[in-house]
Amino acid sequence: MTKQYFKKLTNAGSASCVFALLAFVFALCGAVLEPVSTAIHNAVFEHDIDNMFLYTHDDTVMTIYHFFDIYGSGIFMAVLSFVAMIILFKNKRTKGLTAASASLIIFAALAAIPLSVFGMITEIQEDILKLTSDDTDQTVFVSVCRLLVFCLPLIAGFFLLLSGLFLALRLSGESFTVEVERAEKAAAQMFDGFPADNQYAAGAFMPEQNSVQPQAVSEAPVEAVVPEPTAAPEVSEEPAAPATCPHCGAVLKTGAKFCSACGQKV
């Protein structure tokens, strides 16, 4: 028996697509929360700020390192959920997803979630100290917005994880059967109808069979039979007429050299 391996394919389904869409929405909200919350703060409260995380330090400048340290998890989750959403919606009804697709989504979500958890814990510890000394509306608003910067990507990560798990459940729940053919039968079907002059090519791929090959029969060389010549038919000779003497005309005896009548030499 031969083993034939096939990739099990499935479609994304509605549940995986919906969870991927929700993950992208929450991650996108976390990525754009900084400019939106800053604009709302400056419109509502008296003291304007440049950004949420440096509002108490007017002389501090936000660098690229600080920006990605704070908003890196949200940006990474937004890009990841967007790619997953495109792939899932593209294969919503087409069976083009394998177990590798589900594993990639699950492991990517698990890798991004700890970044948001670590940032959220650090932010909670800092904001609790600020709220104990200053519980004004401005401080509460800023603390909530700073916390949402890490909470929204965390929620997006859980939705993306659910999307990958639902995709894995679809793969495990669908029936999957494979027909395995015998090697001799498959090879016979593959090389059936080979031309006579190309049988050596088919024999190179055909499996060895235990059937007994017929032995060649040795034949002695056949000698050519030459037909014997047929004898010509014998012609019966009639007895010759008796000779006569040229001198006297008498009949001569057989084998006589002299005429018995006149005595002349014949």
Taking only the tens place, the pLDDT of each residue in 73-94 is 888 899 999 999 999 999 998 8
* pLDDT for the residue numbered 199: 45
For residue 244, list its beta bridge partners. Answer: 251
Which residues sit opposite 258 in a β-bridge? 265
What contacts 50, CB < 8 A, 6 or more positions away?
38, 58, 62
Tell me how far apart the alpha carbons of residues 131 and 127 are, in angstroms, rounded to a whole number. 6
pLDDT for 134 equals 72
Q: Bin 176: left if φ > 0, else alpha if -120 < ψ < 50, else beta.
A: beta
Are residues 6 and 178 in contact, defined by beta-carbon separation less than 8 angstroms? yes
In sequence order, the 6+-apart residues with CB closer than 8 A to the CB of 68 are 75
Residue 201's pLDDT band (boundaries 50, 70, 90)?
Answer: very low
**Surface-to-core class of residue 83, CB atoms within 10 Å of its CB (0-12 exposed, 13-18 middle, 19+ buried):** middle
Question: Which pLDDT does position 180 carry in this prediction?
Answer: 55
Alpha-carbon span 119 to 115, nearest angstrom: 6
What's the confidence (pLDDT) of residue 142?
84
Q: Which of 110, 100, 84 is nearest to 23 (CA)?
A: 84
Kindly indicate the confidence band of residue 112, based on its pLDDT and cuts at 50, 70 and 90.
Answer: confident
Does the structure show a pLDDT above 90 at 129?
A: no
Q: Report the distance separating Cα 12 and Cα 86, nearest Å.
A: 11
**Average pLDDT of every residue of the chain:** 75
The confidence band for 57, taking pLDDT boundaries of 50, 70 and 90, is very low
Which band of pLDDT confidence, cut at 50, 70 and 90, is reported for residue 202?
very low
pLDDT confidence band for 205 (50 / 70 / 90): very low
